[in-house]
Structure 1
Amino acid sequence: MSDRTKFPLRIVGALAGVLLLLAAPLSLESFWLQTGLFAMAAVIGAVGLTLLVGVTGQLSLGHAFFVAVGAYGYAFLAGSSDGDVVGVGLPPAVATVGAVVLAGVAGALFSPIAGRLRGIYLGLASLGLVFAGQHILQNATAVTGGFNGRDAAPFRLFDFSFTATDPELIIFNVPYGALERLWYLGLLLVAVAVWYARNLLRGRPGRALVGVRDSEAAAAVMGVNVRRYKAAAFTVSSAYAGLAGVLLALAFGRIVPESFGFLLSVDLLAMIIIGGLGSIGGAAAGAVFVIALPLVLNHYSDALPFLAQPGEAGIGAAEAARLLYGAAILAVLLYLPGGLAQLTHRISAKESRHEQTTAGNGDSTSPHVDRV
């Protein structure tokens, strides 16, 4: 198949995928919609983390802290004061921007440390953010609600509320509640996040970040301000994490500190390793895999005989999911260092070689009219 034929086929396939995503709320039940929203938030966070770890080469084990800043920042800015919990009461759209900015500022404040450290030392330093963040979330009860958490105000844009009502919305006899409406908001945020990351990598900043990852000394000789670009990478990545936190807060409806612990940082790192470090598409695929697997296993645990039910001895759905994607990480590190992105490239390269071989065989066996 020629490249001219492949190009329109890819466009048709992409359009078909977009249409399926847009039509998903018409047929999916609430479990799949909520799983999809969690996956979308994970995609945004993973794309931001791969810009930092995969592209710039800075290890972070503390991105759960920045996700929490985004989630609680939105809840505080968009929420209203109620009892012991205080809020600013800003419009949700403004609160979303404010929460992303807060997460980016938190990353910028940490960036001087990131500029001085590298490798495992930077990872351990960033890990301290998670433990400090947990202490703050559990004790700053006026802002976070403490151990019990706090509600996240529903998203609202002008007079349209992302709830079950106000206004009531029915499309093709399907009532559009909060999950159905948030689905489209999540798709929009993912599209913007992926678009910005791709454009960043294609431009001069992306080449500078790759140069910093490959050799800081060589990048400095080429005129790259290494500290500035490392600080910018941490800031942008933290802002991505903040946006993921906002979407998580909207999907949960109520946020608690334990949702933003060390395990979330590990999950984010697992996403980009499985997907392929430095690959935007790979990060998205890894995020969907890591987030959806435990939820799906838990949802269908009754039908899977090898899973123990809650309260029973044995391996439960959450433990089985961690074992599976732990095995996936080992398989990637041993046999596929480029992750799912490398697997895709291998398949594409194999198809191209097969087409070239077929074309070459066809040329050698076809009759030549000018042959004497």
Structure 2
Amino acid sequence: MSKKVILSCVVLVAVAVAVPFYLEGFWLQAGLFAMSAAIGAIGLNLLTGATGQLSMGHAFFLAVGAYAYVYFAAEPEGGAHALGGLGLPTPVAALLAVLTAGVAGGVFSPIAGRLKGAYLGIATLALIFVGQHVLFNAEPVTGGYNGRAVPPMELFGFVFADSPELVVAQVPFGSLERLWFLGLAVLTCAALFARGVLRGRPGRAMNTIRDHEIAAGVMGVPVARYRAGVFVLSSMYGGLAGVLIALVFQRTVPDYFGLLLSLDYLAMIIIGGLGSVAGAVIGAFFISLLPQLLSRYSDALPLVAEPGSAGVSPAEASRILYGAAVVVIVLFLPGGLLGLARRLRLAVTRRPAPVPATRKTPLSSTSPDTRN
């Protein structure tokens, strides 16, 4: 690793750590949503970008992770609308939620191991409709239409919530400030693990399945097993993203985990760059922050109005913009924003080779011009 890369990583870490001390809650919440989206996008990119398997049901596994965490961590509630819960320690609940999402992916993995392309996309689309039906009707577990409150994460006695009060360097640290560092740690670990998978033998096998499935089978790669295994791993990434989203939202709502969320994740990996961890992160931040920015500055932007008014709402405007971005990238930038960044970096760092200076031979006394 070169010194420039190490220096860039140090600067990036320093900036990320300093963010909660200077930015307000709106930007911290937007950043946390982008982190959770990046975790889910990394998982989908392992399946779609690296292995070539289309999935339209990624939002289902986010819902499994979010609601499983709430059920495992929450205490049972009685009354007219009784809600179940196991009251487990929150770190254990988070781990079990990720494993539950993996189990859900494992149940579907035999289908994922045998289908490919649009057929798998249509099959996974059914997960969204099944998941929405369960979320709205299994009220003792999910809370139905109104959802459920999310218990705050408590790790080694430290609570990621607004209370107890915490002040660091004269800056009040509420739930968003505390969750910021948790999100950074989880995203970093998820990205490093996925990077190791892609750079190792499994990653080479996945890329071979994507590019030359028949050749992969001839070389001894168990194609169906790899497809099923990557589907389970992608589901676990989705469950982890769902847990973080639930902690940031502080309430699970069924409407959030619908078809549009799955389409958003597909747009993330296409815009960022297929088959790359960095591309998934870039695309996730682009898709997640765009509607937040449009909502924040809707008064100063033309044709963008508040939701419910006659103009185009920020959510609609953001979908129009990144829909156009998907078309442009598919046609002109197959490497996504990551590929564009690499091209720009090469254009900046590439310098023309120096022209060698012509050597002048001094006139000597034996030169024909000086002979008598």
Structure-1-length-normalised TM-score: 0.93
- Corresponding residue for 1:118? 116
Report the secondary structure of 1:361's partner residue. coil
- Corresponding residue for 1:284? 281
Identity of aligned residues (%): 54
- Corresponding residue for 1:75? 70
Q: Which amino acid aligns with 1:152?
A: V
Matched, 1:90 2:83: no
> CA separation in 1, counterparts of 2:308 and 2:126?
33
Let me know the Cα RMSD of the aligned residues.
1.6
Indicate the structure with greater helix content: 1
- Corresponding residue for 1:270? 267
Report the secondary structure of 1:365's partner residue. coil
> CA separation in 2, counterparts of 1:153 and 1:142?
16
Contact 2:295/2:306, CA 8 A, preserved across alignment: no
> CA separation in 2, counterparts of 1:20 and 1:368?
54
> CA separation in 1, counterparts of 2:100 and 2:359?
70
Matched, 1:99 2:94: no
Report the secondary structure of 1:154's partner residue. coil
- Corresponding residue for 1:241? 238
Which of residues 249, 252, 255 in structure 1 aligns to 2:252? Answer: 255
Give CA-to-partner distance per residue, 1:304-335, whole Å, 9 cap, x none.
Answer: 24212233212111111111101100110111
C-alpha deviation, 1:366, in angstroms = 7.3
> CA separation in 2, counterparts of 1:32 and 1:144?
29
C-alpha deviation, 1:14, in angstroms = 1.7
Matched, 1:361 2:360: no
- Corresponding residue for 1:53? 48
Cα 1:153–1:367 change in 2 (3 A) is: farther
Any stretches of 5+ residues in structure 2 without a counterpart?
365-372
C-alpha deviation, 1:346, in angstroms = 1.6
Which of residues 193, 196, 201 in structure 2 aligns to 1:204? Answer: 201
C-alpha deviation, 1:232, in angstroms = 0.7
Matched, 1:321 2:313: no
Any stretches of 5+ residues in structure 1 without a counterpart?
none
> CA separation in 2, counterparts of 1:43 and 1:367?
57
Cα 1:154–1:366 change in 2 (3 A) is: farther
Matched, 1:136 2:123: no
> CA separation in 1, counterparts of 2:348 and 2:306?
44
Matched, 1:296 2:288: no
Q: Which amino acid aligns with 1:171?
A: V
> CA separation in 2, counterparts of 1:276 and 1:302?
32
C-alpha deviation, 1:8, in angstroms = 1.8
Give CA-to-partner distance per residue, 1:220-250, whole Å, 9 cap, x none.
Answer: 1111111111011001000000000000000
- Corresponding residue for 2:347? 350
Report the secondary structure of 1:60's partner residue. coil
- Corresponding residue for 2:327? 330
- Corresponding residue for 1:62? 57
- Corresponding residue for 1:155? 153
Q: Which amino acid aligns with 1:365?
A: A
> CA separation in 2, counterparts of 1:208 and 1:66?
25
> Deviation above 3 Å: which 4+ runs of structure 1?
366-369
Matched, 1:216 2:209: no
C-alpha deviation, 1:32, in angstroms = 0.4
Instruction: Name whichever of 238-247 and 77-86 sits farther off.
Output: 77-86
Contact 2:113/2:226, CA 8 A, preserved across alignment: no
C-alpha deviation, 1:368, in angstroms = 10
> CA separation in 1, counterparts of 2:181 and 2:142?
28
Give CA-to-partner distance per residue, 1:50-91, whole Å, 9 cap, x none.
Answer: 000000000000000000000001011111111311111111
> CA separation in 1, counterparts of 2:202 and 2:175?
38
**Across the two proteins, how many residue pairs are aligned to each other?**
359
Report the secondary structure of 2:354's partner residue. helix
Q: Which amino acid aligns with 1:48?
A: G
Contact 2:307/2:314, CA 8 A, preserved across alignment: no
The higher radius of gyration belongs to 2
Cα 1:130–1:366 change in 2 (3 A) is: farther
Give CA-to-partner distance per residue, 1:27-58, whole Å, 9 cap, x none.
Answer: 11110010011000000000000000000000
C-alpha deviation, 1:344, in angstroms = 2.0
Cα 1:250–1:368 change in 2 (3 A) is: farther
> CA separation in 2, counterparts of 1:339 and 1:247?
26
> CA separation in 2, counterparts of 1:314 and 1:366?
67
